Structure 1
Amino acid sequence: MPSASAVLKPLLGTLAGLVGIYAAFISLLTIPTLQDHVIFLHRVILTWGQDVNTPEQWGFLRNQVSPFHLKTPDGETLHAWHVLPLETYRQHQLELRNEPIGLCSNIQERLSFKLLKDDPTVQLVIYFHGAAGTLGSGWRPQSYRALSATSTNVHVLIIDYRGFGSSTGWPSEAGLLTDALTLTNFAMETAGIPPERTTVFAQSIGTAVAVSLTHHLALQSPPVLFAGTVLVAPFADVESLTRTYKVAGTVPLLSPLAIFPPLLALLNHFIVTKFPSKEKLAALVHHLDTIKVNGRQRKYDITLIHAEDDYDIPWIHSDIIFWHAVNATLDPPSSMTFDELEKIKAKEKVPLGDGGWEMEWKGKGGIIREQIVKHGLHDRIMSYPVCTENQHHHKCKNKAVTTATIAIITRLLGVTVY
C-alpha cells in the first residue's frame, strides 16, 4: 500500500502547478492589451462564416435592415445596421425589395433612411450590445426583430464598436464613448430625430457605454435628454465585476482573488478600463435633479432589468446601481444604506409572480426603476415573451405578447403595441 506522502506529493505538485498557472494569468492581466481582450472579448467574433452585410441570414426581410458605415471624429469606421419597423416595411416592401442589397455606400440615399428622416412620428431605439461577437451574434438579432415588430414606427440603430466585427480600431472606454456619440449624432443631426423621441437601450457592457453617453450629454449646455434609458444586465463597475464575473456563466475568472482583498485591489489598480457606471448614473441623477430644463418635467427615466438566473453578471449589480441612483435623489446630508433600501424595497416593490418584481423610485427630476425577472439568463432576457393584459407602465389597446424590455421601451416612446 503506497504511503500517504507518495499519494499527496503528486496531488500537491498538481495543485502548485495550477496555482502557478493562475498566478501567471493574473500577472498577464496587468498588461493593458490583454485586459482589453478579457473585458471586451472583441476578438471572439461568434458570427464566423456569416456576412454582417447580409442581415437576411438572421431572418430579416430583404432590405428590412440597411448595413452602413459611420466615420468617427478620430477616423475609425463603424459598421452599423438600421432596422426598419415591420409595418413600415410592409407598407413600402415593393420599393425596398427593388433596392440593391448589402452594404450601403451612402445610407442617406436609401429609402429606409428617408422613411426614418421624413416621418415626424418616428420613434428611435439606439441600441448598444454587449461584449464579444458582433451586432449579429447570439440573441441580438432576435431582440432587434422583436423591437421592429412592436409598432409601426419604432426604428432601431445598432453599431459594432471599434475593434468589434468589421469596425476598425481597438476598443477602449473613451473610444466606445466616441462611438456612441457618433451614432447619436448621426441620429440627431443627420437623421433629424430629436432625443425626446429616442430611447437608449443597452445590454451588459453596452450598459456602461449607455451610462457614459447619457451622463456626457446630460452635462452639456443645454443638456441633451433622451426619452429614457433601459439597462439590461448592467454591472456596477469593472472593479465590482472582477469579483463576480464568470466566463460563460460557469468559470469564475477573478472570483478566487476575492478571497484575498489586497490582491484583488492590487490587480484593480492596474486595470485601465473602469466603467464606473454606478457613480456616473448617480451623478447624472443628482445633476438633473438640481437643474431646470425648459419643456421637460421628467428629465430622466431609467430602467434597470436583470434576470435572477444571470450567471454571467449577478443581479446584485442592478441592486447596487439602483441604490447609488436612489441616494443621488436624496438631499444632503441625507443618505441611505444598502440594507435600509432593501427593507424599503421589501415593503414597496410590486410582486409580479413568476415574472419577478419591480420597484420604482421617484426623484425630483424623474424615475428610476429596477425590474428583476426570474428567468432570462444574461442575454435571452432581451427576447423572452411575456403575456400581459395590463402593462404596469404602458396601456395597450389589446392583450399583447411582448417582452419585458419592449414593454418598457414602448412606454417610454409612447407608442401602441400591436
Structure 2
Amino acid sequence: MNLLRASVILLTSLATLYAALIICLTFETPQRWVIYFHWLHIPLFPKFHSPEHFGFAHNSIRNFKIQTNDNLSLGAWHILPKDYHTKEGLRYIGKVDDDVFDRALQDPDYETVIYFHGNALSRASSMRIDLYKNLMNRYPKLNIFTIDYRGFGDSNGIPSEDGLALDARAAWDWLMSKKVSPDRITLIGHSLGTGVSTTLAHDVSKAGTPPKALILKAAFASLPRLVLEYRLLEIIHILGPLNQIPIGNEWFKSHLKSKFDSLSRIPDVDCPILIVVGSKDFEIPATQSNLLFYGAIGGNPIQYNKQWLENGPSNIQVSQVENEATVYTTSKSTTKSSAAMVKLVCLEHANHNNLGYYDYFYESVHDITSWQTIDM
C-alpha cells in the first residue's frame, strides 16, 4: 500500500511539474530561451576579429558590423572567393582595405551566398566553419556572407521573429549597397535559418528582386507545425505528450510568439528552391521538409497527406543515388519564370547538423545554382 501511494505521489508530482513546464513555455521569455538558444556561447570567447585562429588564410575574411533598421549592430563575416584571394596574393601582404573585399562582391565573375545559421552558438561554431570551408573549396568563385542574429555572437539585442527578419534584410540591404545584383545572390538557411531565409526570399520576391536561389537545410514548415514533433538535441521530445491532448495541443500552439510560417511564404518565392534533409534527422523530422516541398510547388496544405511522395505524384521525377540520396525534382510556375526548379534531396546517412559533410549535398547545390566548381 505504501508503494502504491508513493507511486501515485511520484506520478502526480511529475505530471504537475510537466504541466508547470508547459505553462512556463507559453510565456515570451522562456519561449525565446528554448527557440533561439542564443544564450549558449561555445566557444566562450570567439576571436571573430582573427579568422586565422579558425584556420582561414590571412586576409580571406573581413570581420565587421552591419546596422539594422532598428539601430542594432550585427557581427558579420565576408569570406572571399578562394580564386580571388589566390589571384590577388592576399595571404602574403599586410591587412587590406575594404575596397579589396568590395571588388570581389562587385566583380560579375563572382557570386555571393548569404548564410543564415540555426539556433544556438554563433557564426564561429565549428560545424559552421566546416561548412564555409567546404563551400570555399568546392566553389572557388563564391563570396560567403554570414551574420549573427541579434542576441547571438557579438551582435546586440534580443532575438524575435520580427527582429531576425530585420537582421536578414539588413544583410540583403548591405549587399545592395555594395552594388551586388540580386541575381548573383543565393540564400542558404539551416534549421532556424530556413525560416529566416524563406522570409527574406519571400519579401524580396514580392518586391520584384528575387535571389538567384533559395537553399534550405533541415527545414521546418512552421513552428506551430513543428513544436509537437521537435526533439531537443535530437533526444528530448519535450512536447510529445501534448499530442495525446488535442485541446492542450491547440492551446499551446496558440500561445507561440514566433511562427516562422515558411509554408505560407514559400509559394511566393520566385527562384529555384533546394530543400535538403537527412533521413537520420531526429531533431526536425523529414516530414517537415516534405510538407515544405509540397507547399513550394503549389500544394494545398489542407490536402497534404504524409504518404503523397510514396504515392508517386505524376509531376515529380524521382531518382535514387545508391546509398547516398533520394531526389525529388519538379518545377513550379512563378511570376517571373515559367519553370523554376524545385528539388527535395533526402540524404541517406545525414542527421540534423552534418548535411554539409556529404558530397551529394554539393552536387545538389550545383544543380540549383550552376556555381563553378573546382576540379576534384
TM-score by length of 1: 0.83
Q: Secondary structure at 1:318's aligned position in 2?
A: helix
- Identify which of 193, 201, 211 aligns with 1:214: 201
Aligned match of 1:164 in 128, 152, 166?
A: 152
Q: Partner residue of 1:399?
A: none
- Per the TM alignment, residue 340 of structure 1 is displaced from its structure 2 partner at its CA by 4.2
Q: Compute the displacement of 1:258 (Å).
A: 1.3
Q: Decide whether the 8 Å contact of 1:345 with 1:359 is kept in 2.
A: no
Contact 1:123 1:413 in 2 (8 A): no
> What's the counterpart of residue 288 of structure 2?
317
Render the CA deviation track for 1:201-247: whole Å, top value 9, x for unaligned: 11000000011111111111xx1111111000000111111111111
> Cα–Cα, structure 1 residues 182 and 150, in superposed 2: closer, same or farther, change >3 Å?
same
2:187 pairs, out of 196, 200, 205, with 200
Answer whether contact 1:302 1:367 (CA < 8 A) is retained: yes
Hey, what does 1:48 align to over in structure 2? 44
Q: Does the aligned pair in 2 maintain the 1:375–1:381 contact within 8 Å? A: no
1:344 positional shift: 1.7
2:171 to 183, 186, 189: 183
Match of 1:30 in 2: 26
What's 1:113 paired with? 102
1:259 aligns with 2:244: yes
Match of 1:308 among 279, 290, 294: 279
Report the AA paired with residue 104 of structure 2: L
Displacement over 6 Å in runs of 4+: none
CA distance in 1, matches of 2:240, 2:254: 16
Query: Counterpart amino acid of 2:48?
Result: V
Percent of aligned pairs sharing the same letter: 26
Q: What does residue 271 of structure 1 align with? A: 256
Cα separation, 2, equivalents of 1:267 and 1:336:
23
Residue equivalent to 1:354:
323
Question: Which of the residues 9, 15, 21 maps onto 2:17?
Answer: 21
CA distance in 2, matches of 1:201, 1:185: 16
Partner-residue secondary structure (3-state), 2:216? strand
Letter in 2 for 1:24: A
Q: Determine the structure 2 residue equivalent to 1:249.
A: 234
SS of aligned partner of 1:99: coil
Query: 1 CA distance for matches of 2:370 and 2:342?
Result: 18
Tell whether the 8 Å contact from 2:341 to 2:368 is kept in structure 1 after alignment: no
Conservation of the 8 A alpha-carbon contact between 2:81 and 2:110: no
Q: CA deviation at 1:23?
A: 1.1
Kindly state the Cα deviation for residue 408 of structure 1 after the two structures are TM-superposed: 3.2
Label 1:342 to 1:385 Cα distance change in 2 as closer, same or farther (>3 A): closer
Q: Residues 138 and 245 (structure 1 numbering): CA distance in 2 closer, same or farther, change over 3 Å?
A: farther
2:297 aligned counterpart, secondary structure: helix
**How far apart are 1:110 and its partner, in Å?**
4.8
- Structure 2 unaligned regions, length at least 5: 335-339
2:125 aligned with 1:137, yes or no? yes
Equivalent pair of 1:199/1:412 in contact (CA under 8 Å): no
Larger radius of gyration: 1
* 8 A Cα contact 1:214 1:225, kept in partner: yes
Deviation at 1:94, TM superposition (A): 4.1
Q: Tell me how far apart the structure 2 counterparts of residues 161 and 48 of structure 1 sit (CA, whole Å).
A: 17
Aligned-pair CA distance for 1:256 = 1.5
For the pair 1:62 / 2:61, whether they are aligned, the reply is: no
Aligned length: 368
The residue that corresponds to 2:162 in the other structure is 174
- 1:415 correspondence with 2:371: yes
Letter in 1 for 2:325: G
Aligned CA RMSD, in angstroms, stands at 2.2
| SS class of match (2:214) | strand
Distance, in Å, in 2 between the alignment partners of 1:96 and 1:75 is 37
Deviation per CA, 1:364-408: give whole Å up to 9, x if none. Answer: 2312111111122111112x142xxxxxxxxxxxxxxxx51x323
Partner AA of 1:74 in structure 2? D
User: Secondary structure at 1:155's aligned position in 2?
Assistant: strand
Q: Write the letter of the residue equivalent to 1:325.
A: A
Residue number in structure 2 paired with 1:293: none
- Partners of 2:368 and 2:330 lie apart in 1 by 16
**Structure 1 residue 80 corresponds to structure 2 residue 115:** no
Q: Distance in 1 between matches of 2:225 and 2:161?
A: 16
Of stretches 137-146 and 43-52 in structure 1, the one that deviates more from structure 2 is 43-52
Q: Deviations over 1:299-335 (max 9, x none)?
A: 4201110000011101110111112222359xxxxx7
Helix, strand or coil: the match of 1:49? Answer: coil
Query: 3-state DSSP class of the match of 1:149?
Result: helix
Give the AA of the match of 2:178. Answer: A
State the AA in 1 paired with 2:68: T
